[in-house]
């Protein structure tokens, strides 16, 4: 495997880890309340997590500037 392939794999692994962390810390409460209300859409949750995996650098920079934490 060449260096570009390794970088892509590392990028997505970091994205998955950060997306799961952010989902558990920032969005878990609202997700649980919408599941209890019956208004939760699993498809939109999956799309949201996929977008977090892809665009994690943007959210990371935003969190570091705004909240001074990951």
CA 50 vs. chain centroid, Å, equals: 7
Contact 52, 23 (CB under 8 A): yes
Domains of the chain: which residue ranges?
3-66
* Statement: the pTM of the whole predicted model exceeds 0.75: yes
Cβ–Cβ under 8 Å, residues 31 and 61: no
pLDDT one-digit tens code per residue, 6-50? 999 999 999 999 999 999 999 999 999 999 999 988 899 999 999
Q: Residue 1: helix, strand or coil by DSSP?
A: coil
């Amino acid at each position: 495997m060449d260096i570009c392939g390794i970088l892509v794999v590392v990028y997505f692994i970091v994205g998955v880890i950060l997306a799961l962390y952010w989902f558990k810390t920032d969005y878990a409460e609202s997700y649980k309340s919408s599941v209890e209300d019956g208004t939760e859409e699993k498809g939109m949750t999956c799309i949201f997590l996929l977008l977090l995996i892809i665009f994690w650098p943007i959210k990371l920079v935003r969190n570091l500037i705004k909240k001074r934490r990951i």
